[in-house]
Structure 1
Amino acid sequence: MKEIRIEENGRLGPINAAMIPRYAGGGTYARLPRLDQVEKADIKIVGVPFDTGVSYRPGARFGANHVRESSRLIRPYNPATDTSPFAQSQVADAGDMAVNPFNINEAIETIEHEALELTSDGSTLVTVGGDHTIALPLLRAASQRAGAPVAMLHFDAHLDTWDTYFGAEYTHGTPFRRAVEEGILDTEAICHVGTRGPLYGKKDLEDDKRFGFGIVTSSDVYYQGVREIVDKLRDRIGNRPLYISVDIDVLDPAHAPGTGTPEAGGITSRELLEILRGLRGLNIVGADIVEVAPAYDHAELTGVAASHVTYDLISLISDFRASKGMNS
C-alpha cells in the first residue's frame, strides 16, 4: 500500500489519516516515518523491549509496540502547547534496540552504545521501554552528550534509589542510586514527582535525601496543585540540561493499570500532562517512558496515556529545538 503522508516545512510527517484509515498502515509511533525514510531526524523515538530488571510483574518488554499501537490517534497539531511538533522538527521512529534479555550488564552496555550512536548527529532521543533499568545507560549517554552531569525529573510512584535486589546492583529499582554514584546527575537539580506508597523503612527516604533528591509526592500534587508544583520544579532545574524519566506507574492504576508495580493514590493523566506542559522552554536533552506492561492493560488505558505523554515530550523538545535553531 502506498503511504500518503503529511508534509510540512519540508518535513515528512505522519500518514494522512484523511486518506488512509488510522487502523491501517505501518505501526510506527503516531504513524510517523521510519528513520530509514528520512535523510536526517531531529528527534528519534526508539523502543527498548527489555524487562529483565523487574522485581514483580514482567511484561514491559512489550511496552514499546503497545505504545506505538496506542498512538494511532495522535494528530499533528498540539493545541495544549500551540505547536505542530512534526512540522517544527523532523521526527522519526528508529525502531527497537536489540538487547540481550539474559544478561543485564550486557544489555545496559548495548543501550548506552546505541543511544550514543543515535544521538551522534545532534538529535534528541525519546525512548519507550522496557523497564526502568534502561534509564541508567540512557542517562550515561545524555550526560556524555551534554558534557556534564544532567538535571533530572523522575516521575514515578517509587524512588528507584535502592541499593540492590537479591544482590543485583542493576535492576529497575536501582538506576538512580547508580546514576548518583557515577556522577552523571547534577545533584542540585534532581527530583522525584508523584511518589507514594509503602517503603522498606525510613532509611529509604534518608538515603534519597542524602543523594540530593527532592520529593514531590502525589499528595503534594493533589493539595498544592499543578501550577505551584511546576513553579517549584522549574526553580529547582533552572537552565540546566534536563533529562525526564517517566515511569507510567506514576499514574494511579485507574489511569494506568498496565504496569508491573501499581500503587494506589497516584496522580491523574491530566495532572501528569499539565506538569509536563509547564516545563516548556527547558532544555530537555532526553526522555524515557517506561514500565508499560500491556498484558495488564484493559481497555488500552495505559497505552493511550503513555502515547500522549510521549507526544507532549516530543512537543516540548521540538519547540525548544526550533527556538534555538537546532533543527535540520
Structure 2
Amino acid sequence: MYQPKDSSLSPRFCGIRTFMRLEHIQTTDNVDFVIVGVPFDTAVSNRTGARYGPQHIRNSSVLLRPYNPDQNINIFDYCSGVDYGDIDVIPGNIHRTYDNMVKGLAPILEKSIIPIILGGDHSISLGNLRAFAKQYGPVALVHFDSHSDTWDNYYGEKYMHGTPFRRAVEEGLLDVNHSIQVGMRGPLYGPECIEDARHLGFEVIPMKEIRKIGYSEVLNRIHKRVAGRPVFVSFDIDFLDPAYAPGTGTPEVGGPTSADALDLVRGLDGLDILGFDLVEVLPAYDSGEITAAAASAVAFEMISLVALKKRKVQEENLKQASFSNAN
C-alpha cells in the first residue's frame, strides 16, 4: 500500500516534491491511482509557462492531508497511489508528444489504474483521450472550462489548446452524445464559438445558464447526460474565476469560486470515472500561489472520488459475502 509521508513526523519542506508527498515510483503494482505530469505548453495562444504547472501543483500539494472531511473518507484506508513522475514531452512537437503520452499511459490503463494527469496546456487532453480510447473505446467527457476548446483551428493550426475536443470528436475518441461541457463564458468572435460545440454533439451549459439553474441542477444534468457510461473528466483551471485562479493563460472573469468548483467535483461521485486531467496552471502569474492551492485541492477531490469508488466496491462485496453466508 502506497501512501503519503506523515507530515507530523517528517516536515513538509523535506524531500523531493511529489504530489501530496506520495512515493515517487513508476510502478503499476498494488496501486489504484497515479499522479502523472505532462509539462507541455507549446500549443498555447496567449501566455506561456504552463509547462511548469505540474511541479507548481506538486509544491502546493504538500499541505494536503489524507482525510477528506467533506466526503468523510480517509483516502488511504481504501486505495493506494504513487506519483508516477512526468511523461517526456517534445517541446515544439505536439505530435511526438502525443505519441509519448499514448505510450506512457498504456501500462497504467492496461491495469485499470486511474491516472490524475497534471498539465501543461489543454492540448494534452487529445493525447490523453487517444490513450483512453485505445484501451477502453470512446469515453464520455465531463469538461469544466471557460472555453469549449472545439475550434477548428487557431492561426491555421489544427492542434492547439483551443482545438482538442473537436479533434477528439473527429477521431472517434468520445461518446459525444453522452458528453457535457460546463462553464463557458467571456467574449467570443460570434455565437458559433458555442454553437459549434453543440453541433458536434456536446451538451453545453454556459456560465450564464449556471447562474440561473444553480450548481445542484448542473450536477443533475451531468449525471443524466453521462448515464452510466465510462467517463473522462477534464478540468481547466480557468473554469475558476481569476479572482480564485489568476495563474492561467487565458483567464475569463465571471466564473465560479474555488468552493463551488470543489463541490462540483465532489458531486461527480457515482460516475464511472476512468481518469482525469487538470490543465492550464501557469505559475508565473500565480499571485500568492492561490491557483496552485486551488488546483491541488481539485486533484485531491479527484483522488477522493477514487477512494469513494473503492469503498463502495468493498461495501458491496461485504454485503454479498454476508448474504452468501446467510444462505
TM-score tier, shorter chain, comes to over 0.9
Match of 1:314 in 2: 303
Unaligned stretches of 5+ in structure 2? 317-327
Q: How many equivalent residue pairs?
A: 315
Moved more, 36-45 or 313-322: 36-45
Are 1:232 and 2:221 matched, yes or no?
Answer: yes
State the superposition RMSD in angstroms: 1.6
Are 1:189 and 2:173 matched, yes or no?
Answer: no
Matched position secondary structure for 1:70: helix
CA distance in 1, matches of 2:291, 2:218: 24
CA distance in 1, matches of 2:246, 2:41: 17
Match of 1:283 in 2: 272
Match of 2:107 in 1: 117
CA distance in 1, matches of 2:217, 2:29: 42
CA distance in 1, matches of 2:212, 2:14: 44
Matched position secondary structure for 1:185: coil
Match of 1:102 in 2: 92
Identity of aligned residues (%): 44
Amino acid at match of 1:74: L
Unaligned stretches of 5+ in structure 1? 1-10
CA distance in 1, matches of 2:28, 2:268: 29
Are 1:150 and 2:139 matched, yes or no?
Answer: yes
1:8-53 CA distances to partner (integer Å, 9 max, x unpaired)?
A: xxx2311111111222223100001122588432101000110001
Which of residues 151, 155, 158 is equivalent to 1:162?
Answer: 151
Match of 1:76 in 2: 66
Moved more, 270-279 or 243-252: 270-279
Moved more, 23-32 or 304-313: 23-32
TM-score (norm 2): 0.93
Matched position secondary structure for 1:65: helix
CA distance in 2, matches of 1:38, 1:238: 29
1:72-107 CA distances to partner (integer Å, 9 max, x unpaired)?
A: 111001111112222311110001111100211111
* Contact 2:20–2:58 (Cα < 8 Å) also in 1: yes
CA distance in 2, matches of 1:166, 1:195: 21
CA distance in 1, matches of 2:12, 2:206: 37
* Contact 2:2–2:31 (Cα < 8 Å) also in 1: no
CA displacement at 1:121 relative to structure 2: 2.1
1:233-291 CA distances to partner (integer Å, 9 max, x unpaired)?
A: 11111100010000000000000000000011111111111011111011100100000
Change in 2 beyond 3 A, CA 1:214/1:26: same
TM-score (norm 1): 0.92
CA displacement at 1:205 relative to structure 2: 2.4
* Contact 2:125–2:234 (Cα < 8 Å) also in 1: yes
Are 1:45 and 2:35 matched, yes or no?
Answer: yes
Match of 1:178 in 2: 167
Amino acid at match of 1:95: G
CA distance in 2, matches of 1:285, 1:44: 12
